[in-house]
Chains A and B, each alone.
Chain A
Amino acid sequence: MKAVPAILLALLFAVELSAQLTYDRIRQAVREPGSWLTYHGTYDAQRFSALDEINIKNIQQLRPVWMYQVQGRHHFETTPLVFDGVMYLTDPPSDVVALDVRTGRPLWAYRRSLPDDLRACCGDVNRGVAALGDQIFVATIDAHVVALDMRTGRVRWDVEVADYKSGHSLTSAPLAVKDKVIVGMAGAEYGVRGFLDAYDAATGRRAWRFWTVPGPGEPGHETWSGDSWKRGGATTWVTGAFDPETNLVYWGTGNPGPDFIGDVRAGDNLYSDSLIAVDVDTGALRWHFQFTPHDVNDIDATEIPILIDADFRGRPRKLLLFANRNGFFYIFDRVTGEYLHARAFARQTWAKGLDAKGRPIPNPDTVPSPKGALVYPDDDGITNWFSPSYSPQTKTFYQNVREKGGIYFRNEAVYQPGRMYLGASKRAVPDEEPWGALRALDPLTGDVKWEFRVTTPPWCGLLSTAGGLVFSGTMEGTFFALDAESGKLLWRFQTGGAIWSNPISYQAGGHQYIAIAAGSALLVFGLPASESR
């Protein structure tokens, strides 16, 4: 009987508060630090929490408050959303669960029935949901977008984005902006042609599609030889950022297809490995920058653009910071797209350097060959989908990095729908022990201020907080906090499972919490005072 009042209370709490998550609330998420309203927390993707109850003085007392175990078996990569007393997370591959934030008890679950012949190159994973109005949106591994009733998890609409049988899949959290849901897609390893979509949140009708590989007659089409554009990849599989003032979504794109063979697609292969700035109302491309033209090392530029306003070289500017999987840290003017600066922040050998416009000077020795070509980083990248964080308090850009090379042996790539379209096999570097680090970068130069080394290259994103902390995790399951100024280790907890996710922070009952997915559990941490609520 004891459970009944708790559930009733939780339901009342949810019904009372979960009226609407308006666009205005999301746009002004920074004024609502107790919530986590988008995949990145805020549209600028800084992944910074202004909460400071948990801080460098009391972090030693941080302890688990509750856990939730998912049913999914693959990497648990979700970033939860939290608002109005409810946490919304994805249970891989494509389920959604709503939890009461006070107790961790489920309020509803959406369980998706999936076909048994899915084609996802890199795991049946999902990184989270978007929310807008009274709906929750999930992008599914079988390439649908589904809108759920926020109160019940019941399906409002379910639309097919693309045919999963040809290798399309959706793994990232959508981004809800104004009245639209922006959806990125994956499948470059199967020779799909990439795009970024927007759907009307109310009806599910597609509002626009921006093809990241231009078709005949479109600018950029000439950067693909023959009909290679049809299988050009350039997918959009990590959630981007949005600036309400420029009205642009900023989104990274992935590798061209086939991943490791360039001669069948002579040219720069726009807009693969690029940053695209797209008008959110129309889907029109405003500007772009290609980081890695004619990539043959599978170094997708699907990382997170972080938007900050700062004085750059004596002038206030709207900047976009981008720590790329290719090993370079870039700074742009996000209004005009002007390239301002870049520098390497980890070991890379694929480029001999960058020219004055940021275009790389390729190193021909790193092109996959039948004899094998050694390249740094390997195709998992210096970084990958996991999130960086920017603290306006310390004015520091935090990034987890992977120091690891690979040897690539060229083979054949023959396109057939639903089959891998790659062109190389890979070997580890003999006697090399890969390692990782959390690096603190100067956001205006890319210089490394300090680093905290970890044994194994990480797959964990970061959270910085106004409490002077940076949170991260390891492949061996330790969730830990560093002093955001110095990089000194302040706290750690062994979760018991590898951490493939991004931490968040939120407030419930007047107290701050930190949440992280690890192994197959979502863990929530708080201070002792928070337990007597």
Chain B
Amino acid sequence: MSTTSWLLVLQMTVAIEPTARPKVTAQEVARGRSLFEAQCAYCHGADGDGGRGANLARPALRRAPTDEALFRVVNRGVPGTSMPGNAMSARETWQVVAFVRSLGRVKREPLPGNVGRGAQVYDAAGCAACHTVRGRGGPDGPDLTDVGARSSPAYIRRSIVDPQADVPVGFKQIRAVTREGRRMTGVVVNEDTFSIQFRDAAGTLHSYFKEELAEVATDRRTTMPGFRERLEPTALDDLVAYLVSLEGTR
């Protein structure tokens, strides 16, 4: 083994500390992307949106609240999970950190609407019946507390006017008939091979083993109404501006 090889091994075997961070530049992020594609994208996806590994394209990462914590996760892995440590130098690790941090942030664009008026539109349109913002609201639609940080204004606008275009995962509708002939509809809370749990429009939770149901059908059609006809264009702009302002807490 040559001296260079020994040095390489030495470098690999030492857990490194997150010191001497280089300035985040476009070049560093680009180099981080290249490293990410080779070392991380197999599990985390080319866009970091998850798969076998966690979804990293989000504003806050549970195991990495700070950049230093993210550095340590990239370097050492997460014991007890499928996330291994990586034999990258400190500079390379920082490059990956810079790239990962760029994933969860949506670029801010100037928007025409008014945030304050948008909050009023949100209340008046009854959005809180199904959606939650900072812990307040209904359970049957996605939590919007940080929707502005993880979704583009265009995506938010489309979800309001044409909600069927891209239904988020995890909000399946169910139609079920019990063996006694009772018909029910609702939103699926959980399901496996043997049982299904769902919540009806009144908020009541139901749980059945599947053999107790004569019919059960689920689909991903959303119950969210389209607001294209229901909102004036200015009100729609205001609502989008309000939702874009919701960035959650890190």
A and B held together in a complex: yes
Q: Is the interface of B mostly helix, strand, loop or mixed?
A: loop
Asked whether, in the complex, the Cβ of B45 is within 8 Å of the Cβ of A165, the reply is no
A428 interface residue (CB < 8 Å to B): yes
Interface Cβ pair total, 8 Å cutoff:
100
Partner of B84, one of A118, A427, A455: A118
Q: Is the interface of A mostly helix, strand, loop or mixed?
A: loop
Q: Taking A116-B76, A425-B45 as contacts, is the C-beta distance between A418 and B37 under 8 angstroms? A: no
Minimum CB–CB distance from A497 to chain B (whole Å) comes to 13
Which residues between 35 and 71 of chain B lie within 8 Å of chain A, taking CB atoms?
Answer: 37-39, 41-43, 45-46, 51-52
Which residues between 479 and 507 of chain A lie within 8 Å of chain B, taking CB atoms?
Answer: 480, 492
A387 interface residue (CB < 8 Å to B): no
- List the B residue with the shortest CB-CB distance to A453: B193
- CB-CB under 8 A from B37, the residues of chain A are 411-412, 425
Which residues between 59 and 93 of chain A lie within 8 Å of chain B, taking CB atoms?
Answer: 72-74
Minimum CB–CB distance from B37 to chain A (whole Å) comes to 4
Asked whether, in the complex, the Cβ of B192 is within 8 Å of the Cβ of A417, the reply is no
The size class of the interface chain B forms with chain A is: 20 to 34
A450 interface residue (CB < 8 Å to B): no
Interface centre among B14, B37, B39, B87 (most CB of A within 10 A): B87
Asked whether, in the complex, the Cβ of B82 is within 8 Å of the Cβ of A427, the reply is no
A369 interface residue (CB < 8 Å to B): no
Asked whether, in the complex, the Cβ of A416 is within 8 Å of the Cβ of B87, the reply is yes
What per-residue 1/0 map shows which CB atoms of B134-173 lie under 8 Å from chain A? 0000000000000000000000000000000000000000
Partner of A123, one of B12, B51, B81: B81
B8 interface residue (CB < 8 Å to A): yes
Which residues between 419 and 466 of chain A lie within 8 Å of chain B, taking CB atoms?
Answer: 419-420, 422, 424-428, 453-456
Minimum CB–CB distance from A300 to chain B (whole Å) comes to 15
Asked whether, in the complex, the Cβ of B194 is within 8 Å of the Cβ of A492, the reply is yes
Asked whether, in the complex, the Cβ of A121 is within 8 Å of the Cβ of B84, the reply is yes
B85 interface residue (CB < 8 Å to A): yes
- CB-CB under 8 A from A120, the residues of chain B are 84
A418 to B77, CA, bound (A): 13
Partner of B81, one of A73, A116, A422: A73
- List the B residue with the shortest CB-CB distance to A412: B38
Asked whether, in the complex, the Cβ of A409 is within 8 Å of the Cβ of B38, the reply is no
- List the B residue with the shortest CB-CB distance to A420: B39
Question: Which residues of B line the A interface, CB within 8 A?
Answer: 8-9, 12-15, 34, 37-39, 41-43, 45-46, 51-52, 76-77, 79-82, 84-88, 191-194
Q: List 5 A-B contacts (CB under 8 A).
A: A116-B85, A123-B81, A417-B8, A424-B42, A474-B192
Known contacts A119-B85, A165-B87; 11 further A-B pairs (Cβ under 8 A): A118-B85, A119-B87, A122-B82, A165-B12, A411-B37, A426-B41, A426-B43, A426-B51, A456-B192, A476-B192, A478-B192
